[in-house]
Structure 1
């Protein structure tokens, strides 16, 4: 698709945004040419999201917000309601106490609302921490995070520091909300029983897919084993080497403490299902979801669901313990979100009803409650935390 031609259903970007997208397209076309005319999709996705100064997350796009009119593309749980952070603070506090650590780290902190909420809630619980470290690649998001935390967390903002990269070792609790789904994925296709890798070629002033035959590797063999059934039609799916590598790095980095990841996805046998024949790749632009990763490169989010069995295996292979795995709804209910909501006066309709509606979205199977999962790893914690005490689904991984 021509990256500068708006579709009938999506709003067109402004001139400055289009110029940024064009600059990124030129970079991608140069990379395709240097690679011999074909670039693996995961490399295209990496450039589209993270090319320095031009990618979606490394550039200046709005990204997080409640509606298309504010220039944003999607909303996350911390943006939806402060009750998410207030509830998450409880298992975080328990993990800090059980591991005897006093530091927090967040990967990709969005607008900073989760950080501000956690800092405030932990202080109200009399849980003192030494530092809150944010790993953030986007300069624009760092500025937004700093402003949000200063405004919402007051003097606690002094505990926050920003990192350009992960440290070699860390003692404390790490948090990643919708981080794994933003990792580049490889696209693989089975046609008439033979596997291909889907890549990107330059086409006129846009880009197009092109498939190349491959020999099945360990990741593809896992897909074959999960599907089991013979497929009568083409089958497209993703492998998640970047997310697996990131998980291993984080679980190696943590020498004592825990890591909590919240994201949408499935265990392997649900993810690689014969009926899920078109994969999970999805794009988000102005709060509308569509399937064209070549529309406005650098101006839209490109994402894929998380295959949680592989994430669990990666963490354990790095030497961490699997602390638990469950749905977001069960995790938040176990962590006492109804008690947090109970602090609102039901007679104060203007405050209570929006809070209750947000909790409904966080918990409902039709909204975020079931599709989103929470997986956690630990070192130096005996047993688990209360958030996984009921309804743990680790056996499904």
Structure 2
């Protein structure tokens, strides 16, 4: 057990082992420290008379089940700088013994170096749900909000831990640390979706004209915000790309833009899809997006147009067409249109086909059902089995009408 080895190293280990243990703990994520805290509490007290004398002793002592040892560890850790002692102090700031927590909170106020603040925030975010940690994160945030701590805030906003980075970005936004160029770069390129969205929202509040640039962001949440920030009278042709976006949420926002001014988006989809079907230059993304969008807002009359997309050689386009046809087609059209795609080489297309055929289980031919049951994809096989179960149940009700009457008399 890791906790036992750490305690043994702190009590009797050679200097080399103690240094290696400290280095390993320093590389570990914040979750490890909080888990070790729970394990140590269950394991009970350490060696009798154990007192922390060095950094490893302070770290192990900070996890000890004996409150006096933890208090001595807090006093010892206050003399050490760096992210690991700062993280241990953050953990003990939520201690259940008031004296231990008070000492750790005092020491924590000075732990705002650029390498220490992310370690502190990482722990505080993970213990924020504890009753004894109530208000602790807000207190530390107030310290970081002071003008002298701007380097620490920038370190938080650039940290690889997503939860720490979100905290840092939100704090930086509140403090006005980001200029418009920073906001645009983060909205377009940050690895974390929440950070991209926060910066996009602030950028659009400051400069709604940036919506056009954000329409090409990689994050769907940013593109959705950009569409909502477009002017009410934006030409329908400028909404074609959002209407055909690969993300459903962006397509829905673009349709809402048209609905708000009384324009039916289905008409735009029909016009653009007809052009795309005829054009040899239409890319798969545009064709799939227009097909998916028409399937979301069209009606049964659009099935003829959508069926023209079903034979497309590109799997993503066929997948969107199968989903749209499955949603809009009348029950009698489903098997003739989608049955030939039951053995499509793309698993996504086959899944859409059998999901649509669930609407008409009694009409699915045995050979189509056999294809679904023998495919290699578990999701497709499950759908085929469900179709078979529903078809069998429907046949039983049809061939044995007394069954339902007898059941009714039994009630």
TM-score by length of 1: 0.21
The structure that has the greater radius of gyration is: 2
Select the structure that is richer in strand.
1
Select the structure that is richer in helix.
2
